[in-house]
Amino acid sequence: MAASPLASLIPLALLFLPSLASGCYTRLFAFGDSLTDTGNFHHSIGDQFDPVARLPYGQTYFGRPTGRFSDGRVIVDFVAKAFGLPFTLPYLVGRTADDFKYGANFAVGGATALNNDYFRKRDVEPNWTEHSLDEQIRWFKQLLNMLATQSERDELMRNSLFFVGEIGGNDYNHLFIRSKTLDEVRAIVPDVADAIGAAVKELIQLGAKTLVVPGNFPIGCVPLYLRVYQSDKEEDYHPKTRCINWLNEFAEYHNRMIINKINSLKESYPNVTIIYADYYGASMNIFRDPVQFGFEVPLNACCGSDAPYNCTPSILCGSPGSSVCKDPSTYASWDGLHLTEASYKLVAEGILEGPYASPPLAKSCTNLQCDSDTLKLPFSDPFSSI
């Protein structure tokens, strides 16, 4: 693992956290892509240019970039807070077992559910991270050996909450941007679902008892997709939301496959709690009735370019020529691909309290600490500094 310049700060920070892990889950482990990443992508690319490593990323909550692909916190941050846990440390930042006292985040921006060899065999040469879901599971197994002896492992796994995703969106993104047809992209969905299911099964076999598996977001409402697939055909758009119908239908197909996989795993492991997190349903509230939830601009990127949907592939957030809106909390999308903190908060509430998780995460733990939205950690997240 990469050495962290923050290593000396971590023990000091943890001194201020004696009461935060008093909920039923003692650790949170997260896997996925840029929707969950809290700094691994940045730490995996060395000296390469990384727009997420500079403002305006992170401006809303942290006041600085943290490696999150948003203006502030992401869903797992809100979940950690609700369970009285600190923000999950990016795996590539930590070095010792004490660094991962409260769990770890293995998600990497750009990561896929399928490994890169899968794409190479189909004549698609990857230009994204090698740290796919199976690699993240390998990281976890290495960390598990550091955290617990064989006799301690059952307790650690039983008392931890596992977030497997969201992941799979990039498997499709990487094909869509290469002008693959909808049928070609749709053909890999069963393989994506199988890869996610295999990761969940491996964690269960290691002893995991509570896992959350999110579905995909409504990609037909994503500004970059709206820009790239802009159409003159009225029938391509939903009459109320103005999202692209066929892209949302594709996301729903992916989600059905994930639900089927979860149901199959539940039958095989009846003593394990596997929770489907309906990111699609929770976020569609924003697009169906944005004003009700405080959003004034649901389909434009807050940070981007002066183009339709404030988004163009040639000028992305943080790049020269980009600009940022005055109030990200009134926008659903942060940078054209990822959501604002305000949107992530709404989705997190939907899966914590219901009805967008079955059962709601709050009911998966009788000791859940979810007293108010204003609860904040007594330190400014040194784990995620870059």
The span from the CA of 313 to the CA of 222, in Å, is 13
Nearest to residue 98, comparing CAs of 210, 207, 12, 1?
12
What does the alpha-carbon distance between residue 244 and residue 219 come to, in Å, rounded to a whole number?
8
Q: Which amino acid is at 177?
A: I
Chain CA centroid to CA 188, Å: 21
Active site residue 335: yes
Which one-letter amino acid corresponds to residue 125? E
Give residue 221's identity as a one-letter amino acid code. Answer: C
Q: How far is CA 136 from CA 20, 92, 121, 141, in A?
A: 26, 11, 21, 9
Q: Which two tokens stand for residue 294?
A: 């405080």
Known active-site residue 174:
no
Nearest to 74 by CA among 217, 223, 264: 217
Residue among 43, 131, 174, 338 flagged as catalytic: 338
Amino acid letter, 287:
F
Establish whether the linkage from the previous residue to 355 is cis, with ω within 30° of 0. yes
Residue 327 designated active-site: no
Give dist(CA 335, CA 339) in Å, integer. 7
Of 4, 33, 34, 70, which residue is the catalytic one? 34
Active-site residue, selected from the candidate residues 335, 343, 381, 384: 335
Nearest-5° Cα angle at 54, 30 to 166: 25
- Write out the catalytic residue numbers: 34, 335, 338
